[in-house]
């Protein structure tokens, strides 16, 4: 049987050289997208302020506006460069994959990116507005509430990223069943424990203690589990 050049055994030095090349390409992509994002950082910040409504942010330190702009540009650059980063990871592990594994990884690329984008959209349009409004009004009769720019933007970007990662659950379940790490019938019997775990996770990642926002996060988590269980039927 003839083997592909991708399937040949590589030496340690070749692995290290390949890793350096992939890291350099990924870093260069992040640099380019960060510089590009810096041009549009004001528009990006305005977009991140939409869930806050008419709430004004406060900058305290002299360098806070610049560092905040740079941090937002960097996060945006990493997000924009994510397809390149994932592709470089794939190219690095590619020589270790069999042909059927290679096809599986490639087929999972678009669903993974799509679920990540769906999680960000769900958080941005549904969860963040109510969460920010609840936190802003809580204790407002006692305290003068005004969000600091760096803290608000850090909170929003972290929460968006967390929800994007959480929405990867169906892809993770499908992949684990496909590679026989998990057994689908056994997983189906764990529904009640997963339901409880989803509400615990929802309570942890939701920034507000009210039941409405926690349910708004926890219920979709459980539905994502059911979606992953359904998709694993075809694994």
Contact 59, 65 (CB under 8 A): yes
Contact 164, 120 (CB under 8 A): yes
Contact 18, 89 (CB under 8 A): no
Residues 75-122: tens digit of each pLDDT = 899 889 988 998 898 888 887 778 877 888 888 888 888 998 999 999
- Token representation of residue 230: 């359904």
Q: What is the DSSP string of 46-101?
A: HHHHGGGTTPPPB--STTHHHHHHHHHHHHHHHHHTHHHHHHHHHHHHGGGS-HHH
pTM of the complete model:
0.77
Contact 78, 30 (CB under 8 A): yes
Could you give the percent of the chain with pLDDT greater than 70? Answer: 94
Rounded to an integer, what distance in angstroms lies between the CA atom of residue 174 and that of residue 192? 19
């Amino acid at each position: 049987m003839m083997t592909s050049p991708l399937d040949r055994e590589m030496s340690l030095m070749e692995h290290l050289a390949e890793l350096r090349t992939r890291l350099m390409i990924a870093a260069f992509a992040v640099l380019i997208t960060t510089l590009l994002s810096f041009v549009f950082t004001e528009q990006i910040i305005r977009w991140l302020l939409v869930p806050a409504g008419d709430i004004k942010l406060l900058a305290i330190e002299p360098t806070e506006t610049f560092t905040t702009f740079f941090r937002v540009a960097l996060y945006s650059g990493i997000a924009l460069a994510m397809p390149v980063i994932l592709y470089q990871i794939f190219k690095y592990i590619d020589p270790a994959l069999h042909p059927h594994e290679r096809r599986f990884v490639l087929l999972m690329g678009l669903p993974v990116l799509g679920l990540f984008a769906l999680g960000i959209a769900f958080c941005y349009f549904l969860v963040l507005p109510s969460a920010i409004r609840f936190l802003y009004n809580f204790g407002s009769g006692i305290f003068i509430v005004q969000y600091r720019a760096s803290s608000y933007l850090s909170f929003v970007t972290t929460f968006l990223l967390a929800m994007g990662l959480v929405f990867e659950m169906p892809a993770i379940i499908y992949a684990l069943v496909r590679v026989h790490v998990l057994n689908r019938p056994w997983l189906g019997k764990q529904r009640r424990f997963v339901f409880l775990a989803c509400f615990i996770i929802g309570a942890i990642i939701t920034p507000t203690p009210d039941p409405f926002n926690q349910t708004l996060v926890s219920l979709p988590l459980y539905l994502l589990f059911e979606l992953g269980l359904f998709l694993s039927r075809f694994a």
